Structure formats: C-alpha cells, structure tokens
Amino acid sequence: MTLTAPFGLGPPEAPVFREPWEAQAFAMTLALHERGLFTWPEWAAALAAQISAAQAAGDADTGDTYYHHWLAALEVLVATKGASTASELEHWREAWDHAADRTPHGQPIVLAEGDFAAH
C-alpha cells in the first residue's frame, strides 16, 4: 500500500513516502514524541538545524534528501536525550548497512547477529 498526498499537498497519486524506511522514520519520530522524549518545538529545531547544515554543505534542497535529514535529526535527538548514544546508533547503522549489502534487490532486509560482527 502506498500512502498518497492528502488535502492538496500534491497530486493525488504522489506518494507521501518514497521508501518504506521514510515511513518508519516518520512513525518512530511520532512515537518518541508521544512518549515524551522530546517536544514538538525541539523536533522542529533539530530538523531545521539538519536541513540548514545540509544546505550550507551544498545540498541542493530538491526534496529527495528530506527524509535523510529527518532521520539524522531523529538520531541527534535520541542521543541528546540519552535514549541511546551516538556510538550505539552508529553500531546499528553499520549492521543495517551490512545486512542491506548482502540482501538481494527487492528482498526484505533481515538483520542477523553476524551483521554486527561484520564491521
């Protein structure tokens, strides 16, 4: 199922999320906010800071990197709030990258114990 843009936010057939991970990052952000890890103004400031830093580094801001900034902002907030550490997040990121590298295109990525030892 593909979610599409509601209320005139784009053509009715335009997907809101281009990849499943984008929807998952969105859902994780909402869940952590609802659990009180951060306020919505804190979230907005973190996302704005990520986007500004990316633009300063040359991001063309065409929209295709938006959820990369979203995820980076979420990781910063999670680490800043003490829910995880930056090194722990990096450890998981590397394991997921390894799992993705060994997964055939079009197949679901499954994280295995060996993915953590691969780096």
Instruction: Please give the full DSSP string across 10-74, using - where no structure is assigned.
Output: S-TTSBS-SSHHHHHHHHHHHHHHHTTSS-HHHHHHHHHHHHHHHHHTT----STTHHHHHHHHH
The answer to whether the CB of 75 falls within 8 A of the CB of 89 is yes
With 80 as the cut, is the pLDDT of residue 13 above it? Answer: no
Question: Is residue 42 assigned to a domain?
Answer: yes
Six token digits for residue 70: 């979203």
Per cent of the chain over pLDDT 70 is 87
With 50 as the cut, is the pLDDT of residue 1 above it? Answer: no
Domain count, the chain: 1
Tracing tokens 């060996």 back to the chain, one arrives at 114
* Domain span at 95: 20-117
Six token digits for residue 95: 């394991």
With 80 as the cut, is the pLDDT of residue 2 above it? Answer: no
Q: What distance in Å separates the CA atoms of residue 55 and residue 104, rounded to the nearest whole number?
A: 33
